[in-house]
């Protein structure tokens, strides 16, 4: 049974999805999101950076580290995509099988 209303449940789920690149949401992440309901929102820059990191990880997982394919999916050229990877300290080789 959910202790809050549906809007609160949706907010917690959305926050969990934004905070993980895993297909499974852990209990710890849900607890973190529940605790976070009473804390301040991250700044816009922090939220954007977290989104970018999760987005890049997901693209690299889907493409198995193929930067050309990932950049194309993101609508970016490879140079811009490599800059994003560098900014978030990601290495495409870590996603290759």
Most confidently predicted of 13-17, 79-83, 93-97: 79-83
Domain spans of the chain? 6-36, 44-95
The pLDDT of residue 94: 96
The string of pLDDT tens digits covering residues 34-83 is 776 655 567 888 889 999 999 999 999 999 999 999 999 999 999 999 99
d(CA 27, CA 71): 33
pLDDT in the model for residue 24: 84
Task: Give the per-residue pLDDT at 18.
Answer: 80
| Mean pLDDT value of segment 23-33 | 82
């Amino acid at each position: 049974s959910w202790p809050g209303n549906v809007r609160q449940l949706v907010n917690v789920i959305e926050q969990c999805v934004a905070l993980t690149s895993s297909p499974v949401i852990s209990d710890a992440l849900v607890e973190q999101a529940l605790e976070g309901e009473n804390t301040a929102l991250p700044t816009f820059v922090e939220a954007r950076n977290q989104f970018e990191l999760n987005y890049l990880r997901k693209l690299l997982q889907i493409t198995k580290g193929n930067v050309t394919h990932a950049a194309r999916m993101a609508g970016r050229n490879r140079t811009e995509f490599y800059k994003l990877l560098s900014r978030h300290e990601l290495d495409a080789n870590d996603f290759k099988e």
